[in-house]
Structure formats: structure tokens, C-alpha cells
Amino acid sequence: MSEEMDRLVAEFEKFQTKLKQAEAQFAKVGDMQEELNALEAQAMSPDRSVTVVAGPSGSVKDLRLSPDALRQQPDQLASTILATLHQAVAESARKQAGIVDEHVGTAFGLNVSEQVLEAQAAGLGTTVEELESNLPEAQPRQAGPVQDDEDFANNDLLRDDRRAPQAPPPAPPSASAGDQFLKNLFNDEEDHR
């Protein structure tokens, strides 16, 4: 009886560990939301006459015109404002994607930054490489984060995928209902992948 109890306790401890990992993962979502809310991307026209600050989801937080901007013809000024606005909004989208990738991208197998760059390149009729070379800071594509055994943000919530799958230990011939429940709890998750 004590061997079965030890096994049940070990299974329960594994379950508690996974639960703590899930809680840590969900806590990071709040941090991500705060970063997204504080996000700003600034773009300036080539002649420095127009500055646009974009926020999350492409919202315009600020538009500044220099005295030189007001000397431009209305059509030229409108064109400069729109071009600068598009730059700021595009940069905001790239920053948002980077934040999402940093917090949850690898946990869900996403690369939002790559998807945003591909969509922007397609919209502009260019390649991702050409678009990247024209970015203000020549932002390289984000590589996956370095694995840290103490950082659960990039781990699957219910299973550690870095380890090779192990066969469960053979059950004793007279497995109790509690033992069977714990086994099914972990095996059901794997069967649904």
C-alpha cells in the first residue's frame, strides 16, 4: 500500500509543478498586456517636417508639424503626413509582434514578427529581406529565446517538450481508481495532440 501511495504522491507533485508553470505563464500575459498598452512607435518624414507617434493597434497618439511643413503645398503636405503615418503604424505593428513573440510566441509555436513582415512586404510589393534592409534600425528577425530551465514562459503548460517522451511505468495488476484517474489525467493531454 505504501508503494502505491508514494506513486500517487509523486504524480500529484508532478501535477502541482505543472500547475505552477501554468500560473507563471498566465502571469506573463498580464505583463505582455502592459507592454502593449505602453507601446509607441515614432516615424519622421525624410525632410523632418512631419513626426507621427503611433500606439497599439495603429492608433495615432501624436502628430507634429514643423514650421517647414506648413510651407508645403497642401497636396505635398498631405502626402508627407500619410507616408509618415504609414511608417509609424507599420513600426507599431512590428513592435507589437515582437512583444507577442517574446511573451507567448514560442509557447504556441508562433512567429508573429515574421508574419507581420511578410504581410507588410506583400502589401508593399517587395520582399521581406528588402523591407528589413529599409527599416530604421535594420531590425533582424527575432531568433527564438534561449531556453532557461527556471523560465517557464516558453514551456508547454502541461508537458516539457524538451525531454524525450518516456513510457509510463507499468501499473501494478490491481491499480486503484485513484491511480487510474491520475494516469488518465496526464495521458489524455498527450492523446489530444
pLDDT tens by residue, 161-190: 444 445 555 545 555 555 555 556 555 545
Grid cell locating 161? 517538450
pLDDT tens by residue, 90-120: 999 999 888 888 877 666 677 888 888 888 8
For 115-169, the DSSP string reads HHHHHHHHHHTS-HHHHHHTSTT-PPPPPPPPP-TT--TTS-SS--TTSPP-PPP
- Give the fold, CATH level 3, of 1-155: Ybab; Chain: A; (3.30.1310)
Return all residues near 189 (Cβ < 8 A) that are at least 6 apart: 158, 159
Percent of the chain residues past pLDDT 90, beyond the cut: 26
The answer to whether 133 and 117 are in contact (CB under 8 A) is no
pLDDT tens by residue, 22-55: 777 777 777 888 888 889 999 999 999 999 999 9
